[in-house]
Chain A
C-alpha cells in the first residue's frame, strides 16, 4: 500500500509539489473513510481539517431555516475540500456530507499552519494551490448564479 507521502504527491491538487514539501505536508495527514451520509464537516463547528478526496463524492450543503437541505456544490475524487482552516475564526461555513463511500486524506490544519509559518516557501506554494481552486469555484459559482437554463435555452 502506498504511504501518505506518495498519495499526497500523486493527488492532482498537489501536482508538481516538491518532494520535501510533500514530506512536510504528509506529516500532517492521515487516511480516513466516511460512510454514505456521514458528515466530514458541520456548519458552525471548528474547521480543523481539510481533505483531499481520493474516492467518492462530497456534497456541500446548507439548510435554510424552515426549509429542506439544499446542495450547493459537490466535490469529487481528485479534488480538495475545505479552506476554512486557513483563516480565523477557523469555522466551517457549510455542511459537507459524504454522498457515497468517501476516502480522503485528512490534514490537521493547525499542524499545517505551523509548518507554513516556519517555511514561507511551503506556505506560498500551498496558498497558490488553494487560491487557484478558490478562483475556479468562484467562477463556477458565478456561472451557476447566472441560471443559464432560463427561458432562452
Chain B
C-alpha cells in the first residue's frame, strides 16, 4: 500500500522528534510490569489521545518502543503500563519520579467505542493486553448510561500476573461483569481456570447487540474472535489491537507491515473482518 497524502500530512508535523517528558509516578503493578505516569516537560508537546492509541517512548542511549496508553493520570499525565521484556522496556521499568524520557505521539487508530453507544460491550484481554483496553473500561464507566451490559473478560498465566486487580471491584460496583481466568493455579485461587475464550461461555450479554474489543496474544484473539462469532456476535462489530515490531510509527519503515496494513498507521486497532485472513497467514 502506498503512503498517501494523508499519511504524508500526518507525518509532516514534529512526529519524528521525541520531546522530553517527565515521570510523575511509577507504580509496580506486578513483578515485571510497571505503570508510568508521564507529563510533557513543555505543555505544548501534549496532544489529545484517544483510547487505543500508542506513544513511542524513548530512553536516551538505549532505544525506542511503542507503548499503548493505558489511561490518564490524576492531572494531565498519560499512563503507560510497561512489561520488562527487553533492553528499552527494562530501562522504562526502572525509571523513577522526576526522570526524563523522550516521547512522541500519539499514533495509530483508536477503539471505536462511540460508534457502539447503546450496545452491549465485551472487553476481552489477555496478559498485558488489558493495558490498552483499560481506557475503554474507564470510558464506559464515565458514560455508564450510554451502554447496556458491559462485560470484561480477562486472563493471564497465573494469579500473580493479573493486572489492575484493585480496580476490578470498582468496575463490578458500577455494574460491569468482570470474569477473570488463569491458565494455572493452586488451591488458593477461587476463580476460573482455563483460557480466556472459555469465559465467553459464562458471560451474560446480548450477542446480536454486542460490540467486542480484544487485546492480547494474537492466538488468543483469534480464538476469542471465533468464539464470539460462533456465539452470534456480528463479525464487523469485533475490533482488536495488533502489535508488531513498530519502529517509525508513521507508516514509513514497513517494520510493522501485515500484508497491506501498516499496523502503526492503519492500526493498531482494526475490525476483525479486515485482518482475520491476514492473521491466518504464517508468513506474515
A interface residues, Cβ below 8 angstroms from B: 57, 59-61, 68-74, 76, 78-79, 97, 99-100, 139-140, 143-144, 146-149, 151-153
Contact = CB atoms under 8 A, between A and B. Distances in A.
A76 B192 CA distance: 8
Contacts of A140: 194-195, 197-198
Q: Which 10 A-B pairs have the closest CB atoms?
A: A148-B217, A153-B127, A74-B193, A149-B157, A153-B217, A149-B127, A143-B195, A71-B193, A71-B185, A74-B192
Interface in B102-126: 126
Contact of A70 (B184, B202, B217): B184
A152 B187 contact: no
A143 B223 contact: yes
Contact of B85 (A60, A78, A97, A151): A151
23 contacts: A57-B190, A59-B187, A61-B187, A69-B186, A71-B193, A73-B194, A74-B181, A74-B194, A76-B192, A97-B187, A100-B190, A143-B195, A143-B197, A144-B194, A148-B126, A148-B217, A149-B156, A151-B85, A152-B217, A153-B126, A153-B127, A153-B216, A153-B217
Contacts of A149: 126-127, 156-157, 161, 183, 217
A146 B193 contact: no
Interface string B164-190: 000000000000000001011111011
- Secondary structure class of chain B's binding surface, majority of residues: mixed
B129 interface: yes
A84 B73 CA distance: 53
Nearest to B181: A74
A57 B223 contact: no
Contacts of A72: 193
B161 to A, nearest CB: 7
Given A70-B184, A78-B201, A140-B198, A147 B157 contact: yes
Contact of B193 (A73, A78, A143, A151): A73
Nearest to A69: B187
Nearest to B86: A151
A97 B189 CA distance: 12
B183 A144 contact: yes
